[in-house]
Amino acid sequence: MSDTPADAHGHEHPKHELSHYAKRIYAIRDLLVEKGVLTEKDIQCQVEYQEARAPANGSKLVAHAWVDSAFKARLIADPKAACAEMGIDAAAVNEFMVLENTEKVRHMVVCTLCSCYPRPILGRPPDWYKSFNYRQRAVVDPRGVMREFGLDLPDDVEVRVHDSTADIRYLVLPLRPKGTESHSEADLAKLVTRDSMIGVTDALPAIPE
């Protein structure tokens, strides 16, 4: 049973106190349903679609870039066009930049104001990404945040923090793990995690043969 009470419109609202903007969003949703513009089923289907995508789209992009250097160059030069090549619709993202990690430079993404995130590529943002603690510490102590995710970088590796906004979103292209030369593209995609595409961790290690 859900812990959110149903209201007069027949759907559920959270029991906890909502922010001003959240209340406006619910009011707009209620009005659209009441006017017949949308149905509750339409809304639920869209939610399920967003959740089902998860980070799978991003994993496909990264794995393909690892095995195809020409595609990687196109992905970095024109991410939206490269997404279209892979059948991924990134049109909803205003501006989109791919940040390639190297042995000497690592990229990390944060949204210091709210939770701007490339949802068509990575699905819904994790709760920790939206938290005030991460948004603050990612800027002042990125290495400390990375260590908490299990990534302890040498001192000679530069860490660059990028602020995601409503105008520009980022995808980190992690380093291909060593020992994956014989991996198929599908197996490589399994090594690409959501967190590695935010930049707080590396991709997973090679799958033992």
Please count the CA atoms within 13 angstroms of the CA of 54 that sit on its side-chain side.
9
By annotation, the residues acting in catalysis are 111, 114-116
Q: Which helix (H) or strand (E) holds 200?
A: none
Residue 173 CA from chain centroid, whole number: 12
Q: Give the DSSP per-residue string, 78-146.
A: -HHHHHHHTT---TT-SSEEEEE--SSEEEEEE-SSS----HHHH-SPPHHHHSHHHHHHHHH-HHHHH
Distance separating alpha carbons of residues 196 and 191, to the nearest angstrom:
9
